[in-house]
Amino acid sequence: MRRAALLSLFAVLLAAAYQTRGTPSAQTREIAPGVFLRAAEPDKRIIANAGWVVFRDYVLVIDANYPWGARAILDDVRKTTDKPIRFVFDTHYHGDHAHGNGVFVAAGATIVCSADCLAESRRKNPPAWEKSAADYKGETLEHPQVGFPERMVFDDGTHRVELIKVGPGHTLGDAVAWLPKERILFTGDLCVNKRPGNNLADPDADPEHWVQALDGLMKYGVAQVIPGHGQPGGNEALAGQRAYIQAIIDGVRAGIGKGQTADQLADTLDLSMYAPWGADKARNAPSIRAVYAKLKR
């Protein structure tokens, strides 16, 4: 009897513990033991994917998102573990991946990214933040406090996460999070697995080095790719992103050789076979023009 009473008390306490923790949102799922993905939630303007890894004593979050996204991530992290969020890794400095840094700093985290990403954040985020001032009322812009030159490794024997600088590509400071045990790769926007793909007209983009960066990532032997935006995939997501960028470079180069103008190429270069990236002709045009301007130099 006594043992049964103790057991039932234990069950009640256990249930209470789970109740206070609650259930994470439908966006969150455990993609490997202790490794979580929180998929984007566009109708809440949380446009980028994020993730976290539960180490023995702490949590490492991958991508801080916008401030409102950071709060949603924080909420979901708390529902998966009681461990503190000690580190947040920004794959790059763009707002949809890094402007939520302040929310995590307020919660006690240190923000890490590549040294180039840190420099980009200091140089480019103050004006970018100013542009979105209406959205960021009451929020704090926090730059990463730690910048690693090439690589930073978190390994406590239970999990290993390697942060590896692979840019320039989408930005100068692009870095990925690689989990060699689980063969999971968080790519940031080096890989975007959805229509209309990446905008190569972004002044941060370096298409030729981007292709090289993807070549490097394709050698990892990934089991799961978590792209910055879009659905999780495998090596084919990296290969598809690479093929799309390379097709623009090759098409533009061939067009320049034939004396075609940027406008002619934007109108005629057919990228529809590189769906989902190239499926949207109107969205391809600025990328084609930008690559043209770079190659024509």
Residues of this chain that bind Zn ion (CB under 5 A):
48, 96, 189, 228
Residue 78, classed as helix, strand or coil, is helix
Nearest to 284 by CA among 247, 230, 254, 257: 247
Q: Which two three-digit tokens encode residue 130?
A: 């100013």
Q: Which two three-digit tokens encode residue 52?
A: 């976290």
Residue 86, classed as helix, strand or coil, is strand
Specify whether the CB–CB gap between 217 and 175 falls below 8 A: no
Q: Between 50 and 179, whose beta carbon lies closer to Zn ion?
A: 50
Least spacing, CB of residue 15 vs Zn ion, in Å: 39
Residue 37, classed as helix, strand or coil, is strand
Q: Between 52 and 66, whose beta carbon lies closer to Zn ion?
A: 66
* Residues forming beta bridges with residue 177, ordered by sequence position: 163, 186
- C-alpha distances in angstroms, 231 versus 2, 39, 62, 77, 227? 52, 8, 16, 20, 7
Least spacing, CB of residue 57 vs Zn ion, in Å: 30
The residue assigned the tokens 């100013």 is 130
Least spacing, CB of residue 197 vs Zn ion, in Å: 12
Least spacing, CB of residue 96 vs Zn ion, in Å: 4
Least spacing, CB of residue 261 vs Zn ion, in Å: 31
How many residues are listed for the chain in this entry?
A: 297
Task: Report the chain's C-alpha Rg in angstroms.
Answer: 21
Q: Between 66 and 154, whose beta carbon lies closer to Zn ion?
A: 66
Q: Between 110 and 199, whose beta carbon lies closer to Zn ion?
A: 199
Least spacing, CB of residue 94 vs Zn ion, in Å: 5
Q: Between 54 and 64, whose beta carbon lies closer to Zn ion?
A: 64
Q: Between 96 and 142, whose beta carbon lies closer to Zn ion?
A: 96
Task: Give dist(CA 22, CA 27) in Å, integer.
Answer: 14
